[in-house]
Structure 1
Amino acid sequence: MTNLRTTLLLGTILVGNAFCSAAFAQDGGVSKNDDNIIVVTAQFREQNIQDIPASITAFDALTIEEAGLQETQDFVNLVPNLSLDDSFTYANTFVVVRGVTQVNNADSPLAIVIDGVPQNNQKQFKMDLFDIERIEVLKGPQGALYGRNAIGGAINIVTKQPTNDFEGKLSATIQNGIGLNANAALSGPIVEDKILFRIGGSYKYSDGLIRNIFVNEDVDFIDHDYSVRGKIQIIPSDSSNIDLRASYQNFQAGSSYDVPVRHNADPSIRNASVNDSIFSPNENIVGLTNGEVFDASLKWDVETQIGTVTGISSYTDLKEVYRADIDFSNQAFDPTFAGFAGLLGFFDSIGVFPTPPGTIGVGQGQDLNVELMSQEIRLVSPDDYTLRYILGGYFIHTNRGLRTRLFADQNGQREQIDNTALVFVESNESNSNNAWSIFGQLEFDISDSLTLQGALRYDEDLRKQTDVTSGLMRKDKFTSVQPKVTLTYDVNEDVLLYATYSTGFRSGGFNAPVVTFPTFRDETLTNYETGFKSEFADRRVRLNGSLFFANSKDFQFFFLDLATGQQIIQNLEDVDIWGFEADLQFSLTDTLSLNGGIGYTDTKIKAIGSQALIDGLNNAGVNTTSIIGNRTPKTTDWNANLGIQSEHQISDQIRAIFRVDYEYRGHKYWQIDNQDVQDPLHLVNLRGTLTNDNWSLAAFVKNLTNERYYTDFNPGEFLGLAVDLGFPSKPRIYGAEMTFRF
């Protein structure tokens, strides 16, 4: 019934919206002066998105504003075969692209690049999208140009550049949960035509929307989250350019409000879906995350006769500290399935920690410190060469420290973690790695309609881990050669066909020193892809699509070991992945447009791998004989989105924009046993805006039908618990936004 109601509601909205749009069009609506060309820099040079032989979804500044894309999750929801799941701490997310999954405290399957600077930590992807010029999402391995960890693709975010004229913007959003989100930007010349500046910032606050039913508080609160970003552009001559960029973010927010999940079905039979078992948080320790991120970079470009030479130097300092429950329960919770009862009993049984008198549960905390320094230099040939080339080198140094503690909970306070008498598990590790690479790409026009592109990259990653407590040191080196070959055929000026062979590499590394599986191997992916780009009806219709097959060796996946309080990464020996995706943009009239996408991903585990992993899973109650043929963790089979936007001229200066976005998320398979599956979701967002050149006023609703689901889910077999843990989603969000431009 829920799906039927959603479908009927969506149909009513779309039909009504289309009817109103048609009526306004008949009255002579005014169209925007737009040639419908999106220029991207995905291959380090400016190109029409339709000329690039790759699966790319892009959002320009106008689309970002009109669609109300305020944070990372907003644009991810509009990209086929891409998902982003909130989980655990405030800054923590799991991104999945074409079945390749993010793993906690490790390398992303996507290369995230902001203004040319790689963001090399998982905690840097979730962000507020303020003062953004363009977002480019490339799918499929991009290792040849973007290096390690671009195994699933790359996301290139370009912030707005300084301007030679003074301009500015102020925006504020108020939403339910007493939420406030404000941002501002100011740009102009310091020395006209020579030194320009741009500064922007954002601030976010919320009382929260997810209620802890034990302490009677909202646990997804945001005490504060503010960011500031500054850019200075120096133009010494017509052939040279220098960009200085720095940013700082500081946040404190609710954290780690997972809930114990008891399926409504017979406890002896695993329910086929987790959607029917949505519970509210009830832990007695209210989780809290504190963090700060500082970034600085220097980018310079010099045009020469043989091409543009670019250098990018960057530095990042990231800190995140959280304190939370780890039994996700309380002393009054039903003991027949309470997570903490089984957890404490397990610790007692193995003699790890004799439970002190008065203990009512178990708490946890981590202190994460990451420091990164990188340098890239590259040469990009002029665009008009018959043989075009890219040559470059890259180096990055990373220091990462992580301290983990589990403690006996006696009073529900986070500060107990500092009482050493209550701490019974402690891990303190220091990680260091130096990685470097060299890369090149050649592109040759065989004829006016046929182009051959070849690329090659060599990566080397030397990793070292030190157990601070014992002094034990481990080190290993991971290397990879990543080739890519693409053949492009221009059928005509509006239709392009391409076929690609590409590879990706994600480095291996070390789990915490005390865990059962101390190391994990590097992952390599080989991808075969064919696709098309097309435009019709004077560029009013744009349809792009691709079909891909990939094989992953040593596929990395993630689970928890609560006995040691650690997060574990391991490898599946052999995984096949195939699927397809398509994007559509259609300007039905001058005032009515449609955009949409559809994607399908099918992953199949062909071999598990190490006997130690098989034994460990069997001991945890996982039937490994049934895993072969299963889907990989956090994989969604189908996803689709449809957006309809209509524009109406209210007066000579004021336009009204109405937009509805529908998103379909198919079955989601949470772990390798495929026993916990989330049923499909239907999500609807609405937005209406009045705007002119100087101001805009918008009202919006996200998750109109108030769908309840889990954004992350960890089955008990992979936790060492008798219950599962789910991370609840946000309920319906609604509010208003006011923007001034000058």
Structure 2
Amino acid sequence: MKMRITGVRRWAPAAAIAAYLFTPPPTWAEEQQAFKLEPVVVTATKTEAKADTIPFTTHSVDRETLDAQPSFFMNNVGELIRDLPGVHVGQYYPWGPPWIHLRGTGYFIGRTVYLVDGLPTWSFMSTTLNPNDIARVDVVLGPSSALYGANASGGAVNFITRSGTKGMGAKGQIAYGSNNTIRPHVSVGDAVDNWRYYLSYSGDYSDGYKMKPVEDALQLWSLGKKQYLKEASLEDNRYESSYASGKADWANEHGTKFSVAVNYAQRYLYGGQTNLILDDNGAQTISTIKAETPIGSIGKLKFSGAFQYYDHPQQYTKGLSLSGGNVVLDSTITQRREWEVKRLPAELQTDWYLGSNNTLTAGVFWSREDETRDDSFLLSGKKSLFKVTTDQTAFYLQDQMLFLDDRLSLVTGVRYDRWQYKDIFDTSSNPQTPEDVSKETWTYRGGAKYRFNENLAVRSSIGTAYWPGLPLWFFQNITSGNTWREANPNLEPEETWMVDLGFEVDLPRFGTFIGITGYYGKIDEVVSYRYDENPAVPGGSIARTQNLGGAEIYGVETSLKQRIIDKLWLMGSLTLNHSEVIDDPVNGGHQLRNAPDYWGSLGLRYLNADILNADLLFRFSDERYYDDKNTELPFFHMRAYETLDLRVWRDWRLADKWIMTTSISGVNLFDKYYETEIVYVNPGRYIEGMVGFRYLF
């Protein structure tokens, strides 16, 4: 998160003391540029607003901060925000997306909304983005369905893609790391007259590691969980991922703007066994168009639209089994799957200026998602096809008001959403074409913030969220292959409400920023899934879903930034959380899945362009559970962990317009072994060196 440090507004009789205590010296003001908040933010309110007037808990990670982070083996967008308070991240990279859990709500698919350039996307599509192509990540904590619709119980994460800037130039770099990991990157960008452009290519190619070790699968086998041995990693899971990104922006002097962005990825992942392929060169793309224009002096009209595509072909085998105490591999191909998702989100929004201190926002959102899962079972000759279209329509209103010379800000909002699951076809169901299903809801959000002066502020917000569940959980029955599914047409949607109260203390003279936020909320009709052992298929499983009674969530998020000496900073975050299943006869009193009792980070950052720059980061997390049953087995009960990461880098000016960059990173330096997600383990210590050259335009 970046801090905004401004001059002191003098008030009260103690003006002389305040002027001394709170006015930043020149060196502090210059160095703090790397950490200040953007003066204007959009994600928290969908409109332009000064950062210090936002009444919601928000954090931003900008490009300078991203460049200072270590190079993670888990090279995806989730690692970029792991150090923020209220944000907990699980990983099963490179198979799927980062499991971003916000504010103790746990299950990421249903309770975190992923956005790309402001438009909602499916969580798995976030793997389309390479960290090199991210300009900024905004996080809004607390229920945000009144802004972004479903899946926002814990909040929203907005990945803002990179644009060209004046003099950006051309860059080429190559990184080499543990596990024979090679990461090339080339990019070019600039701003010319009314235009900006950015183009890039990035690669991530690695021999990988054993993501699901056989030894761990055997341990689970001995404890009764036999379904995890079949696809365990007998060999390293090598992978190959290629990324391309392009963006063009245009703006004129009257405030009219237009941009088009394209992000593309092609990904391959070997399953660690002969013929087992977990991603067979699947193609992914997120293409976004945005336009806005003033409506005279009374408002603004905005449009955003996107085409989002995800292709994930897979190939399965008979796999591993245990015979006579020995692990036996049968690489006979049994199943091929074509899994495809297409999304078309679009939004039209108007902002009306009701005076200089009041903005009324009205908008309409529409999206269509087509999902197809086409399975071929080679030994039996059977086929299974599942198709569903999900249409979503929403209308929303929001009012932002400022009072008392902008010291008091109020925001209220309401939204109506309607979902329709239609054109459903499932080969294995009876009937194969069930009737359409519709769901609707109203959600609201409100907040207030009061700044006593430039150094102390208090804010509070309340909001609700809604999640209807995944369509395949309602309709899909599969009785072939390794993983069967059992439909639950009676699954109820879950609803969330939450309230928070936060304080911000900013002491520029001492280089101190402290943020503290307490929160309390409940989830009703918690949607929970599980994978049960399949007695009909040795080593197979059955996926089932159910509603639990509810969940109670409360905790405290804290953040600290402290200047120790010139050029040396201390940064930390700590989240204390309690998430408990309630009102359920079986799981009552259990910890909500993926919601540990504490997590956080503590780091030192040294910035000295004349000598070197360094970032040392200590991360930690309490234990957590994979399921709401709190199964006391390895990987179901994931252990607590602590890691130490380091990055050292420097830019070397070779000529007037030529710069060479060198860096070395070490992640998990003490080689800590721990689970990152169910049956997935951390790769251990990862070391990476990088050298690059940049030509400035």
CA RMSD of the aligned region, Å? 3.0
Instruction: Give the conservation status (yes or no) of the 8 Å contact 1:30–1:591.
Output: no
3-state SS in 2 of match to 1:65? helix
Give matches, 1:14-29, under 5 Å. none
Q: 1:139 aligned to 135, 141, 164, which one?
A: 141
Q: 1:682 aligned to 642, 666, 682, which one?
A: 642
- The equivalent residue for 2:581 is 605
**Using a 3 Å threshold, how does the CA distance of structure 1 residues 99 and 287 change in structure 2: closer, same or farther?**
farther
- The equivalent residue for 1:639 is 599
Instruction: Give the conservation status (yes or no) of the 8 Å contact 1:163–1:188.
Output: yes
Cα distance in 2 for residues equivalent to 1:36 and 1:293: 33
Instruction: Give the conservation status (yes or no) of the 8 Å contact 2:522–2:553.
Output: yes
Per the TM alignment, residue 533 of structure 1 is displaced from its structure 2 partner at its CA by 2.0
Give matches, 1:490-505, under 5 Å. 490-505=451-466
**Using a 3 Å threshold, how does the CA distance of structure 1 residues 164 and 727 change in structure 2: closer, same or farther?**
closer
Q: 2:421 aligned to 460, 463, 471, which one?
A: 463
- The equivalent residue for 2:301 is 309
Q: 1:432 aligned to 363, 369, 389, which one?
A: 389
Gaps of 5+ in 2: 1-26, 216-231, 479-484, 535-539, 654-658
Cα distance in 1 for residues equivalent to 2:590 and 2:289: 46
Instruction: Give the conservation status (yes or no) of the 8 Å contact 1:641–1:662.
Output: yes
Cα distance in 1 for residues equivalent to 2:408 and 2:242: 49
**Using a 3 Å threshold, how does the CA distance of structure 1 residues 117 and 388 change in structure 2: closer, same or farther?**
same
Instruction: Give the conservation status (yes or no) of the 8 Å contact 1:321–1:365.
Output: yes
Instruction: Give the conservation status (yes or no) of the 8 Å contact 1:108–1:121.
Output: no
Q: Could you report, residue by residue, the CA deviation over 1:355-398 in whole angstroms, capped at 9, with x for unpaired residues?
A: xxx98999665421101111101123459822222211100011
Instruction: Give the conservation status (yes or no) of the 8 Å contact 2:56–2:447.
Output: no
Q: 1:297 aligned to 285, 288, 303, which one?
A: 288
- The equivalent residue for 1:226 is 242
3-state SS in 2 of match to 1:34? helix
Cα distance in 1 for residues equivalent to 2:96 and 2:385: 21
Instruction: Give the conservation status (yes or no) of the 8 Å contact 1:655–1:692.
Output: no
Q: 2:670 aligned to 676, 696, 705, which one?
A: 705
Per the TM alignment, residue 737 of structure 1 is displaced from its structure 2 partner at its CA by 1.3
Cα distance in 2 for residues equivalent to 1:539 and 1:692: 31
2:399 matched to 1:442? yes
2:159 matched to 1:157? yes
3-state SS in 1 of match to 2:132? coil
3-state SS in 1 of match to 2:67? helix
2:321 matched to 1:321? no
Give matches, 1:277-288, under 5 Å. 286-288=276-278
Per the TM alignment, residue 641 of structure 1 is displaced from its structure 2 partner at its CA by 0.3
Instruction: Give the conservation status (yes or no) of the 8 Å contact 1:451–1:488.
Output: yes
Per the TM alignment, residue 46 of structure 1 is displaced from its structure 2 partner at its CA by 4.2
Cα distance in 1 for residues equivalent to 2:117 and 2:686: 31
Give matches, 1:299-448, under 5 Å. 299-304=290-295, 305-324=297-316, 329-332=320-323, 334=325, 366-381=337-352, 385-404=356-375, 417-421=377-381, 427-448=384-405
Counting aligned pairs with the same residue, the percent is: 15
2:628 matched to 1:672? yes
**Using a 3 Å threshold, how does the CA distance of structure 1 residues 155 and 322 change in structure 2: closer, same or farther?**
same
- The equivalent residue for 1:53 is 55
Cα distance in 2 for residues equivalent to 1:430 and 1:701: 44
Gaps of 5+ in 1: 1-27, 258-282, 341-357, 406-416, 609-623, 714-725
Per the TM alignment, residue 547 of structure 1 is displaced from its structure 2 partner at its CA by 0.7
3-state SS in 1 of match to 2:452? strand
What one-letter code is carried by the residue in structure 1 that aligns with 2:611? R
Length-normalised TM-score, structure 1 = 0.77
- The equivalent residue for 1:187 is 189
What one-letter code is carried by the residue in structure 2 that aligns with 1:690? R
Instruction: Give the conservation status (yes or no) of the 8 Å contact 2:488–2:546.
Output: no
3-state SS in 1 of match to 2:151? coil
**Using a 3 Å threshold, how does the CA distance of structure 1 residues 451 and 174 change in structure 2: closer, same or farther?**
same
- The equivalent residue for 1:280 is none
Instruction: Give the conservation status (yes or no) of the 8 Å contact 1:89–1:289.
Output: no
**Using a 3 Å threshold, how does the CA distance of structure 1 residues 456 and 122 change in structure 2: closer, same or farther?**
same
- The equivalent residue for 2:477 is 513
Cα distance in 1 for residues equivalent to 2:642 and 2:324: 32
Q: May I ask how many residue pairs the two structures share in their alignment?
A: 616
Per the TM alignment, residue 117 of structure 1 is displaced from its structure 2 partner at its CA by 2.8
Q: Could you report, residue by residue, the CA deviation over 1:268-315 in whole angstroms, capped at 9, with x for unpaired residues?
A: xxxxxxxxxxxxxxx676443121112222110102222221101111
- The equivalent residue for 2:412 is 454
What one-letter code is carried by the residue in structure 2 that aligns with 1:440? L
What one-letter code is carried by the residue in structure 1 that aligns with 2:46? F
**Using a 3 Å threshold, how does the CA distance of structure 1 residues 363 and 681 change in structure 2: closer, same or farther?**
farther
Cα distance in 2 for residues equivalent to 1:216 and 1:156: 34
What one-letter code is carried by the residue in structure 2 that aligns with 1:551? K
Cα distance in 2 for residues equivalent to 1:570 and 1:404: 25
Instruction: Give the conservation status (yes or no) of the 8 Å contact 1:208–1:219.
Output: yes
What one-letter code is carried by the residue in structure 2 that aligns with 1:87? Y
Q: Could you report, residue by residue, the CA deviation over 1:28-82 in whole angstroms, capped at 9, with x for unpaired residues?
A: 9996472842113222344454432222222111111012365323223212332
Cα distance in 1 for residues equivalent to 2:566 and 2:549: 53
Per the TM alignment, residue 175 of structure 1 is displaced from its structure 2 partner at its CA by 0.1
Cα distance in 2 for residues equivalent to 1:161 and 1:602: 40
Instruction: Give the conservation status (yes or no) of the 8 Å contact 1:647–1:656.
Output: yes
- The equivalent residue for 2:37 is 38
Q: Could you report, residue by residue, the CA deviation over 1:102-147 in whole angstroms, capped at 9, with x for unpaired residues?
A: 36xxx44222222223223434257420132211111111111122
Q: Could you report, residue by residue, the CA deviation over 1:648-671 in whole angstroms, capped at 9, with x for unpaired residues?
A: 45xxxx330122100011021222
Q: 1:530 aligned to 491, 497, 501, which one?
A: 501
Cα distance in 2 for residues equivalent to 1:634 and 1:32: 37
Instruction: Give the conservation status (yes or no) of the 8 Å contact 2:55–2:409.
Output: no
Instruction: Give the conservation status (yes or no) of the 8 Å contact 2:578–2:597.
Output: yes
What one-letter code is carried by the residue in structure 2 that aligns with 1:467? D
Instruction: Give the conservation status (yes or no) of the 8 Å contact 1:284–1:330.
Output: no
What one-letter code is carried by the residue in structure 1 that aligns with 2:438? K
- The equivalent residue for 1:736 is 689
Cα distance in 2 for residues equivalent to 1:664 and 1:150: 25
What one-letter code is carried by the residue in structure 1 that aligns with 2:391? N
